[in-house]
Amino acid sequence: MIMPLILPHAIELGASPTLAGILGSVYGGLQLVSSPIIGKWSDGVSRRFGLLLCMIFTGLGYTVLGLCSSVLAFFISRFILGCFKHSQTISRAFLSDEGESSPSGQSILLGNFNSFSAIGFILGPVVGGHMAESQGGFSLVACTAGLVFLLNAVLVWCMVSQSQTESSGSPMQKKNSEPQLMRSETALSMEKVGSEELNLNMSKVLRSFKDFNWSQLWDLLLMRFFAGFSMIIFRTNFTMVLKLKFSASPSTIGYMTSFSGIIAALSGFCIGYLTKRYKNNARLLLHATIFQVAALACLTVAPSLSLLLLALVPLNLVTSVSRVSATTLTVRSASASPASDKEKSAASVGGVIGLGQSVMALARMSAPLVAGVAQEVAGVDAPAYISVLSAALAVGVMVASGRGLESGVPSEESCDKDKRE
């Protein structure tokens, strides 16, 4: 709704293009640092409380953004958003908790979540674009976005019970929950202002990262960086390709963007079926990434808009599958610890998902710069070739680590059987 309008508004406030780019990088850098910290913090408190806090501060951040009239106020609003806009991270952690007993069930929940998120990306730019054309349009869009987050916080407060988040929480969270931290009351009591729920102990959170099963996570995080970098650099350059290579009009670009969002939304509902058919998220992720390489290569050499549109279908399908499979596999791999460490690993779901979000934040920070330099040096198609290479590197990381290969990783069924034993 507001994303395409943020940097142009910074320039309208008097920021130079370079300063506007730096302000954008500040947001990405804060997300890079804060995402795993907030995710790990939510492992120690209720997901409900974490969602409420993040949505309230995000709503306030967008409201400040809509009311700001200086670059300094713009920076303050982006700082707030960079630190607290993690509702999707905590939501994914909550859904992972809900589907913990079944890999296919977990994938279905995450796939449906991504589909509804994609619907927002279809409708948001259209609504925001029309609102921005009115008098004081940016302020109206930003304040509306803030209001939406505050309304979401009210919905979470009213519809997500504390017992629901506690019952779906990790074993360590259940074991260590204390009576004074229970959120059964309908209002915050003064006795709890100094409790663990509100007290974000940074040293404790940072020390807890050593509990991550890094031997099972490093290749997945590296793969997610290369695959995410590939898609972000492609999308960053996509509009320029349509304009310069195919002389597409703004309306054509808008329709193609909406078409991509529709395919992504529909794809999310198919993920549960694919997971059941494959019965192995690692193999599904490997095959989806291979198809991503092929689809990006076809888009790079497509000679016409019709073939470009046709190639967007498999690309959006496999990227939707990859996002869900990578998240599910990351959570499962984080729990694949020796018996003595299982409870610690199970208590790190939010932190692990936040770490994955930080990896994507790093890709979002670096991809636009790489795309711009490549386009200036080697032409409009250069970023597309880099995206193909990056996706191929993601496949190489998986193959080198044995992910998705018959001899390299067991099926989810055998993993669950080992855990029960």
Highest mean pLDDT: which range of 72-81, 172-181, 351-360: 72-81
179 lies in a domain? no
User: Length of the chain, please?
Assistant: 421
Mean pLDDT of 371-376: 77
276 lies in a domain? yes
Residue 223 has pLDDT above 70, yes or no: yes
Does residue 12 or residue 314 have the better pLDDT?
314
Cβ atoms of 300 and 280 within 8 Å: the answer is no
What does the pLDDT look like over 163-178, one tens digit per residue? 555 545 544 444 444 4
Q: Per-residue confidence at 63, pLDDT binned at 50, 70, 90?
A: very high
Does residue 340 or residue 212 have the better pLDDT?
212
Does residue 49 or residue 361 have the better pLDDT?
49
Residue 289 has pLDDT above 90, yes or no: yes
167 lies in a domain? yes
If one counts the domains in the chain, the total is: 1
- pLDDT reported for residue 60: 93
Mean pLDDT of 192-216: 53
375 lies in a domain? yes
292 lies in a domain? yes
Does residue 209 or residue 362 have the better pLDDT?
362
Does residue 355 or residue 48 have the better pLDDT?
48
Residue 351 has pLDDT above 70, yes or no: no
How much of the chain, in percent, has pLDDT values that exceed 90?
14
Nearby residues of 312 by Cβ (< 8 Å), 6 or more positions away: 256, 259, 260, 263, 299
193 lies in a domain? no
- pLDDT reported for residue 106: 66
Q: Per-residue confidence at 394, pLDDT binned at 50, 70, 90?
A: very high
Closest C-alpha to 6, from 84, 87, 78, 83:
78
Owning domain of residue 88: 3-173+210-420
Closest C-alpha to 85, from 25, 34, 159, 125:
34
Q: What is the dihedral of CA 274, 348, 55, 148, to 10 degrees?
A: 0
Q: CA-to-CA distance for 45 and 177, rounded, in angstroms?
A: 8
339 lies in a domain? yes
- pLDDT reported for residue 166: 53
Residue 219 has pLDDT above 80, yes or no: yes
What does the pLDDT look like over 322-341, one tens digit per residue? 888 887 787 776 655 443 45
Q: CA-to-CA distance for 30 and 7, rounded, in angstroms?
A: 17
Does residue 3 or residue 241 have the better pLDDT?
241
Does residue 389 or residue 98 have the better pLDDT?
389
Does residue 57 or residue 331 have the better pLDDT?
57
- pLDDT reported for residue 17: 65
Mean pLDDT of the chain: 74
- pLDDT reported for residue 196: 40
Mean pLDDT of 384-413: 78
314 lies in a domain? yes
Mean pLDDT of 108-123: 72
- Measure the CA angle with vertex 212, ends 206 and 217; round to 5°: 125
Does residue 156 or residue 268 have the better pLDDT?
156
CATH code at position 9: 1.20.1250.20
Does residue 115 or residue 47 have the better pLDDT?
47
Residue 419 has pLDDT above 50, yes or no: no
- pLDDT reported for residue 62: 92
- pLDDT reported for residue 35: 78
Q: Per-residue confidence at 58, pLDDT binned at 50, 70, 90?
A: very high
Tokens describing residue 146: 């803030």
CB burial of residue 74 (10 Å; 0-12, 13-18, 19+): buried
Tokens describing residue 12: 């309208």
Give a three-class secondary structure readout of the chain: CCHHHHHHHHHHCCCCHHHHHHHHHHHHHHHHHHHHHHHHHHHHCCHHHHHHHHHHHHHHHHHHHHHCCCHHHHHHHHHHHHHHCCHHHHHHHHHHHHCCCCHHHHHHHHHHHHHHHHHHHHHHHHHHHHHHCCCCHHHHHHHHHHHHHHHHHHHHHHHCCHHHHHHCCCHHHHHHCCHHHCCCCCCCCHHHCCCCCCCCCHHHHHHHHHHCCHHHHHHHHHHHHHHHHHHHHHHHHHHHHHHHHHCCCHHHHHHHHHHHHHHHHHHHCCHHHHHHHHCCHHHHHHHHHHHHHHHHHHHHHCCCHHHHHHHHHHHHHHHHHHHHHHHHHHHHHHCCCCHHHHHHHHCCHHHHHHHHHHHHHHHHHHHHHHHHHHHHHHCCCHHHHHHHHHHHHHHHHHHHHCCCCCCCCCCHHHHHHHHHC
List C-alpha distances in Å: 416 to 101, 397, 419.
Answer: 8, 25, 5
Q: Per-residue confidence at 192, pLDDT binned at 50, 70, 90?
A: very low
Closest C-alpha to 351, from 248, 184, 232, 210:
210
Nearby residues of 260 by Cβ (< 8 Å), 6 or more positions away: 312, 316
- pLDDT reported for residue 178: 41
- pLDDT reported for residue 420: 45
- pLDDT reported for residue 56: 93
CA quadruple 152, 154, 159, 163: dihedral sign? positive
